[in-house]
Structure 1
Amino acid sequence: MDNKFLIQQYTSSRMSQCLDKICRLFSKLWAQSIFYHMIFVNPFRLQLQESLTFRIFFWPFQQLNVVATKFDAKYIRDSFILRHFRNYLYMLMRINSTLIGAFMLTVAVYELATAGVSAPALIIFLIAIIFLIAKVDMIELISGSAIFTKLFEMADFKIVCIDYQANKVLAATYGVALGLMCSALLAFSGVVAAFAVAAGLTIVGFVFLNPVYGLYLLVLSGPIFDTKLILGLTVLVIVSTFIRNLLNTEHKWFLDDIGFILMGLLIVYFFSAVLSFQRLASLSIFAVYVLFIGFYIVGLQLLTSREIIIRCVKLFVIAGTLVSIYGILQYVFGWGINQNWIDPSVFSITDRAYSTLDNPNILGVYLILAFMITAGVLLTRKTPHAIFFYACALASMAICLGATFSRGCWIGLAIAIAIFITFYNGKLWGLAIIAILLAPFILPDSIIERILSIGNMEDTSTAIRVKIWLSSLRMGSDFFLTGAGLGSASFGYLYPFYTYYYIPAQHSHNAFFQIFIEGGVIGLVLFLFSMWRIEKHLALCFNKYKRSETGIIALALMCSIVGFFVQGLFDYPFYNYRIVFLFWLIITLGSTLCKRGECDKNFTRM
């Protein structure tokens, strides 16, 4: 049956008309509410950028801009080494067969000369010869391929070919040089280390060629790779951004209201770390916070066009899809499943998925962000291929979130979806109510069992949380102004002196309690202030652009943050440092999207 006919039948039904009247009534009451005026009215009543404190905080960035104008970077940009390194990277971007063939041939000859004749070495040798004979840039073949074109269309990406004509002699020279380097490493460290070094140097080159490439890689790898790798890549992107802004005067440092507030929050965290009972551990965590929370300011410098922001949003969805698929496979096949997260005396389930994020609750809170953003992207796609792709991505996240069996995450997502439906189109509540009524007949018994256990004090995870909350608040009250120090080491050191029930804990299992404990009341106020500002920006952006791509994704981001903190009432997701990075990445994307939606020019600069 035609979908348009079904939609027409629904909109003309009495239920739809009744819902329309209810929505109008609630819309009228909402427009008269205090909360509406706090979020949607008087968007810039607090002119933070005009304050003396803001000017003091912005002064270092002004000095960087001044230094850049006086620094003669022409000789550095045009130096022999950088010129050839750029050529090498451009050839890689075009997937030049001569470069790749020369590299493979050099490695194959080394293997044949040192290890003797072997099938892998001969195969590499033959492929290298084919690549050398072909003398093509394979990106052009890919862009002309119907299969690759369809694959990219499904994710709503375009294959971009940079305008660069490769010199065949130079391409062969670069390939041989890279092959010789790998061959030397093979002699001392093995295959994995040799190719890891070559890949690592290439990635470093791409990031310094354009820090935005590093940002794309961070978005993709954030939920997948180890924290140390994410930290290293974050440092690399920050350093490359500083160098880019120094060498290119077209890029100026700037600061906005949220960045200003976050600088204040980091100062509070610094004093909290210095005064901590576990100073060394707290200072190391402070360093992580500086990189991951401070990355917001660097992100402002990189997300300077709406195209870059939307591309990052789509990459975030793709990363979430990969994490979800792995989580589903992990749950189905029992790959490394840990049963310590389930109370067997209350529940019949024995396994929970945690995918690449080490903990089912952490996976769940990440999927709240990914699910809502995917929903926003899905509703803005135009082609059937893209709609199908993002619908499948959304389904994989929903299934994986179910496999986490995280009740707090389910509640957070449900509230996020409810807010999204209400603002996007209140009439959809008719379908939502039908879905809620059908849910008990569709959902697996294990999920129904888990939902019905919400609030059950016989469940140890619920009972323990309540006791930890009471003990944590007692601790926080004694460090009201300064905070008790950053991280689980400081919390774990002090907690035994405050616990009522002799229950061990490494954090308070509540995001707001933990922020209060770590940063004191000033840290909590600054954090809540920054969250209010970003939610206000996103709400205003949606209110202005409504049904456009910018407006819908802004609404999805706004709801994802709300859902994140609803789950944060039951757990403390920031103890996982990758979640710290991913959360502030979402804040950065949301803030810059609002600015790019508001004007076509670059951000306002001091």
Structure 2
Amino acid sequence: MKQETGQTYVVKMLTLGVATILVLMPVHAFFTAWAASNFGHFDLIRVWKELLIAVLALGAAWIIYKDKELAKSFIKNRLVQIILVYILLQLGLGLVAFARDQVNLNALLYGWIINLRFLVFFLVALIAASKTSLKDRWQKLLFWPAAAVVGFGLVQQFLLPPDFLKHFGYGPDTLLPYQAVDLKTAYIRLQSTLRGPNPLGVYLILIVTALLGVVVKQKKKNHYAWLLSGLVLALYFTYSRSAWIGVFVSVVILLWLYVNNQKVRQVILVASAALVVLSSVAVILLRDNDHVQNIFFHTDEHSTSSVSSNFDRASALKNGLKDTLSEPLGRGPGTAGPASLRNNHSPRVAESYYLQIGQEVGAVGLLLFIVINIYVVLYLYKQRKDTLSMVLLASFIGISVTNLLSHAWADDTISLIWWGLAGLALAPAILNKKRKHNNVWTKEKTTA
């Protein structure tokens, strides 16, 4: 009896912990900046979710240890095995890089955090979903915080001064209160409660796709129309070109998955291709227009910036590809990407998450990560009739396209939310069977 009570307590802790992270991630940058401005220790405050994930991982390990059937399904799953090997590779190569003085401790720890936190959280969410009905509440966990983010963002865009966030601790020691296209105040980029406009744009890829998925699958058109219009408006004002592309790809994939008729699918693909061509032609014809130049090229003929963001991005991608090809074993976690800004050596920011992984853990590490991605896609595709799985599959492809041009998975908000939801969605498939679980929200028992 004591053992059952203990397991129930740990399951409840695990479930509430996962839900807390999913709900708070869209606003955590805002509150951590405010807390750091009052109490200092910005880095310590903003790792609250990693510390919580570490505690949850211990709880998940304890549940696996106590449940032999669950342990067998978990350990024998090929995706889980590859993730564990990838984690060990990251840890091992990191220690080697540290021993060779290729990375300092600060950069190494930060590199491990941003590379591994979402995969660990994915595994934690798997275990939580095997024991509870948390997946049934995914829409509330996702859409209520999104409504707050979009609502505040639109107020920020139309009513508040650009530097409003400086009153809540944003500044040189925490996060920038605002960013602008080519340093022009006429093109302030919306960031809402996230840490910047690009992270907000990638986050909205998931939200837009999820909302459309609910609309087409569950016919809740009127209920979410107001939020969808706000999402599109907020997405536009991020001026995040990679996010725009990601949303377009996600929506096309979503519609393709939803429709079973092959002729209609062909129409969707042809119409999408035609839209791309027409949009490209329109941008080319209007390329001398200042507004078009700033929105689509992030510069114009009157630019005062010494180097354009486009040149920086192209140069970073070129250098990242060169490093990946010339150093097949990588230099270790923390030597590339955002973490490398903390290193004693020159930072290497490739503007591509995949190139970052290649720079850090080489061809083997990059291959393992790609295989993890492929397994997840296959699992989601097999259960695409489920609304959440269909949404995650479509948004994953869109975010993956964005990852070619940015470090999307290095951002804590989108990485933890997406992979956390993926853990909830894939638990039945990965753990092989339906399992009876406790509903921590009520006292009844349900079946997954």
Q: 1:220 is matched with which residue: 9, 16, 23?
A: 23
Matched, 1:300 2:126: yes
Matched, 1:420 2:254: yes
Q: Partners of 1:306 and 1:394 in 2: how far apart?
A: 30
Contact conserved, 1:367 with 1:401, CA < 8 A, in 2?
Answer: yes
Q: Partners of 2:82 and 2:392 in 1: how far apart?
A: 20
Unaligned runs of 5+ in 2: 33-45, 166-175, 283-288, 438-448
Q: Partners of 1:348 and 1:593 in 2: how far apart?
A: 50
Q: 1:217 to 1:510 in 2, by over 3 A?
A: same
Describe how 1:267-286 pairs up with structure 2 within 5 A. 267-276=88-97, 277-285=102-110, 286=112
Describe how 1:19-30 pairs up with structure 2 within 5 A. none
Aligned residue-pair number: 381
Matched, 1:316 2:157: no
Q: 1:241 to 1:422 in 2, by over 3 A?
A: closer
Q: Which residue of 2 is the match for residue 557 of structure 1?
A: 392
Contact conserved, 1:516 with 1:523, CA < 8 A, in 2?
Answer: yes
Q: 2:154 is matched with which residue: 305, 325, 328?
A: 328
Contact conserved, 2:25 with 2:413, CA < 8 A, in 1?
Answer: yes
Q: Which residue of 1 is the match for residue 42 of structure 2?
A: none
- The structure, 1 or 2, with the larger RCO (C-alpha pairs under 8 Å, 6+ apart) is 2
Give structure 1 regions of 4+ aligned residues with deviation exceeding 6 angstroms: 247-251, 430-438, 454-459
Scaled by the length of structure 1, the TM-score of the pair is: 0.55
Q: 1:342 is matched with which residue: 181, 199, 215?
A: 181
Code of the aligned partner of 1:466: A
Describe how 1:81-120 pairs up with structure 2 within 5 A. none
Q: 1:357 is matched with which residue: 194, 219, 239?
A: 194
Q: Which residue of 2 is the match for residue 515 of structure 1?
A: 357
Code of the aligned partner of 1:407: R
Contact conserved, 1:484 with 1:490, CA < 8 A, in 2?
Answer: no
Scaled by the length of structure 2, the TM-score of the pair is: 0.72
Code of the aligned partner of 1:368: I
Contact conserved, 2:320 with 2:348, CA < 8 A, in 1?
Answer: no
Per-residue CA distance 1:172-224 (angstroms, 9 max, x = gap)? xxxxxxxxxxxxxxxxxxxxxxxxxxxxxxxxxx8774421222222111222
Q: Which residue of 2 is the match for residue 235 of structure 1?
A: 54
Code of the aligned partner of 2:313: R
Q: Which residue of 1 is the match for residue 297 of structure 2?
A: 453
Q: Partners of 2:3 and 2:363 in 1: how far apart?
A: 51
Deviation of the 1:448 alpha carbon: 5.3
Unaligned runs of 5+ in 1: 1-72, 87-205, 497-504
Q: Partners of 1:537 and 1:207 in 2: how far apart?
A: 28
Code of the aligned partner of 2:249: I
Deviation of the 1:314 alpha carbon: 3.7
Q: 1:595 to 1:258 in 2, by over 3 A?
A: closer
Contact conserved, 2:201 with 2:243, CA < 8 A, in 1?
Answer: yes
Q: Partners of 1:245 and 1:263 in 2: how far apart?
A: 15
Contact conserved, 1:365 with 1:567, CA < 8 A, in 2?
Answer: yes
Matched, 1:481 2:329: yes
Identity %: 19
Q: Partners of 1:374 and 1:368 in 2: how far apart?
A: 10
Per-residue CA distance 1:386-419 (angstroms, 9 max, x = gap)? 5433333332222211121101100111111122
Contact conserved, 1:349 with 1:446, CA < 8 A, in 2?
Answer: no
Code of the aligned partner of 2:322: R
Code of the aligned partner of 2:90: Y
Q: Partners of 1:351 and 1:422 in 2: how far apart?
A: 35
Contact conserved, 1:352 with 1:403, CA < 8 A, in 2?
Answer: yes
Q: Partners of 2:139 and 2:428 in 1: how far apart?
A: 10
Contact conserved, 1:554 with 1:594, CA < 8 A, in 2?
Answer: no
Q: 1:567 is matched with which residue: 364, 386, 402?
A: 402
Q: 1:584 to 1:519 in 2, by over 3 A?
A: farther
Q: Partners of 1:579 and 1:303 in 2: how far apart?
A: 20
Q: Partners of 2:114 and 2:178 in 1: how far apart?
A: 30
Alpha-carbon RMSD:
3.9
Describe how 1:373-522 pairs up with structure 2 within 5 A. 373-381=210-218, 386-425=220-259, 426=264, 429=268, 450=294, 452-453=296-297, 460-486=308-334, 488-490=338-340, 493=343, 496=346, 507-522=349-364
Per-residue CA distance 1:530-577 (angstroms, 9 max, x = gap)? 1111111222222xx4xxxx1x43222111011101111221123333
Pick the structure with greater CA Rg. Answer: 1
Code of the aligned partner of 2:47: K
Contact conserved, 2:127 with 2:427, CA < 8 A, in 1?
Answer: no
Code of the aligned partner of 1:309: K
